[in-house]
Structure 1
Amino acid sequence: GVHPVSTNPMQPSTLSGYYDTRKLTRILFSILVIILLMAVLAIAFLTKKTNDENTSIIEGLNLETTSKEQLIPSVIINTNTKWKQNAITVAGGNGWGSKSNQLNYPSGIYVDDDDHNIYIADTWNHRIVRWEFGGNNGEIVAGGNGQGSAIHQLNHPKDVILDKDKKNIVICDPGNFRVIQWSLQNSHDQQILIYPILCWGLAIDNNGDLYISDWGKHQVKRWKQGDKESTVVAGGLEKGNRFNQLDQPTSIFVDEYHSVYIADYMNNRVMKWIKNATEGILVAPGQVADKNLNSLIHPIGMIVDHMGNI
């Protein structure tokens, strides 16, 4: 017989597959559109949330700034810290002299955390002055009666600190070979704490124990209130450069764990003596200066922050 010839170029099976493919394409396209819409909505939500959080942070910072009880964050000092090159003069700065707005070779200083008063060992004026923060003049709180060895005089004081109760100042008075205590409440109340000693630096720990660097005997001593004798806590084995020796120690610092940091003047280094240790740890380089740019040359001042940076 005669078979009719189809005028449609697509056979039924081919046509069915064609429609199936178009249906699948539409489904995939719909899914893609839905995913894109969800992504756009998510991005918009996160952007709004971030803006809200930033606004809250800024408002919180503004609130803290205007609050009388604002919290000052700790400053972390590290190798990337850059110090400001322009300082602010807080005491002296009016040429050397003996007037109340002048200093003459100031040495050790002590800053009272409570009121930010600065106590200064005004070495060549043979006095201790207290300078209020922002003040234009200092106030004599010890000495100032000329150079001498009388109980009311000082002879080239090198360092000063407050005792634990902040009722007395403790003074390193090396020209008189003594450490002397001076009452802040009664200027006529003085007491010699240690004699003889060629002291340089003073420090006090959180127990109120006093530490003194003995320049002459190359050691650091601890003196407790009521004790008749002090205890050697660093050095004391004659001068030398071994880790159990010191050579003319100057500035000292005691941390909360009673470790003593010592500027070891003639050894060009800073040593750390942990409590009850028999030798120190080198914490600042002691190499020859012309071979190491990070070396020290006769350090006389040093302080340690809460992170152990020196």
Structure 2
Amino acid sequence: MIGTNTTTIVAGGNGNGTALNQLSLAWGGLTLDSLSNVYIPDSGNARVMKWAPGSLSGQVVAGGNGIGNGSNQLSSSIGSIAVDSKFTVFVADTGNYRIQMWPVGASSGITIIPTNTNGMYPLALELDSMGNIYVGGFNIMKYNVATKTATTIVFSYGNSSNQVGTVYGLRFGANNTNLFAVDSSNHRVQRYSVIKNCGGKSCISPFTSSFSAEILNPS
């Protein structure tokens, strides 16, 4: 609880293992849904776990069928995850260079963004209010699910305002007006503004460098 000296374990805490009350190498970016369920990339077990508030064990919502590249599998290197309003789980399956979509109750995933799309190395993942997918890694890419088209919106590799090093986190601010990128290898967090009317599309542009918060090795 914030403001106290005590903490509460909300997932795991029962040692490294494969049981539903355990996690293994859960190093990626977790997320929450509208009901405060916590979704955790459990990389060591090649699965994504969902933990309801107060639960003593979790539920496998993606993967859990061993390490691999099959439709019902994930790699042992899972980056960020995202959950939409229908509780569909999107997984940055880093080790397989793909983005997987797992609807509620699905026994296998759908590769919604395949390998080699715009040089994608999926570490970070975010959704906007229109259902577009933003993927960060060695660049930042926007994927339009409706048209199945990918656009690189921030290029690699460098330290100028239109470049990134290695992006480990992406998050939209209120009303999807700003996109924040954790640019780890450049030791900074970049903020980009979303331009609503950009040739009929939604584009982003960097703020001036004075708006970039310099922090050490963000993750």
Q: TM-score, normalised by structure 2?
A: 0.85
Are residue 251 (structure 1) and residue 169 (structure 2) matched?
A: yes
Bigger fraction of residues in helix: 1
The one-letter code matched in structure 2 to 1:200 is L
Deviation at 1:219?
A: 1.6
Counterpart of 2:95 in 1: which secondary structure?
Answer: helix
Are residue 231 (structure 1) and residue 158 (structure 2) matched?
A: no
Deviation at 1:211?
A: 1.2
What is the aligned-residue identity percentage? 26
Deviation at 1:83?
A: 5.0
Are residue 87 (structure 1) and residue 7 (structure 2) matched?
A: yes
1:259-274 equivalent positions in 2, closer than 5 A:
259-274=178-193
* Residues 20 and 59, structure 2, Cα contact 8 Å, conserved in 1: yes
Structure 2 CA distance for partners of 1:92 and 1:241, relative to 1, 3 Å: same
1: CA distance between counterparts of 2:3 and 2:141?
Answer: 33
Q: Which residue of 2 aligns with 1:279?
A: 206
1: CA distance between counterparts of 2:49 and 2:123?
Answer: 18
Deviation at 1:221?
A: 1.4
Among candidates 9, 21, 30, match of residue 109 of structure 1 = 30
Q: Which residue of 1 aligns with 2:52?
A: 132
* Residues 33 and 84, structure 2, Cα contact 8 Å, conserved in 1: no
Are residue 146 (structure 1) and residue 63 (structure 2) matched?
A: no
Structure 2 CA distance for partners of 1:149 and 1:277, relative to 1, 3 Å: closer
* Residues 16 and 22, structure 2, Cα contact 8 Å, conserved in 1: yes
CA displacement, residues 13-38 of structure 1 (integer Å, 9 cap, x when unaligned): xxxxxxxxxxxxxxxxxxxxxxxxxx
The structure 1 segments of at least 4 consecutive aligned residues displaced by more than 6 Å after TM superposition are none
Deviation at 1:105?
A: 1.7
Structure 2 CA distance for partners of 1:277 and 1:202, relative to 1, 3 Å: closer
Bigger fraction of residues in strand: 2
Structure 2 CA distance for partners of 1:131 and 1:281, relative to 1, 3 Å: farther
CA displacement, residues 273-297 of structure 1 (integer Å, 9 cap, x when unaligned): 11134434444543xxxxxxxxx22
Are residue 175 (structure 1) and residue 98 (structure 2) matched?
A: no
Q: Which residue of 2 aligns with 1:240?
A: 158
2: CA distance between counterparts of 1:134 and 1:281?
Answer: 43
Q: Which residue of 1 aligns with 2:197?
A: none
What is the RMSD of the two structures over their aligned residues, measured on CA atoms? Answer: 1.8
Q: Identify which range, 277-286 or 120-129, moves more after superposition.
A: 277-286
The structure whose Rg is larger is: 1
1:200-239 equivalent positions in 2, closer than 5 A:
200-213=123-136, 215=137, 218-233=138-153, 235-236=154-155, 238-239=156-157
Number of aligned pairs? Answer: 202
Structure 2: gaps spanning 5 or more residues? 195-202
Q: Which residue of 2 aligns with 1:193?
A: 112
Indicate the structure whose relative CO is greater, using CA pairs within 8 Å and at least 6 residues apart: 2
Q: Which residue of 1 aligns with 2:38?
A: 118
Structure 1: gaps spanning 5 or more residues? 1-81, 287-295, 301-310
The one-letter code matched in structure 2 to 1:163 is D
The one-letter code matched in structure 2 to 1:127 is R
* Residues 178 and 192, structure 2, Cα contact 8 Å, conserved in 1: yes
Deviation at 1:247?
A: 0.3
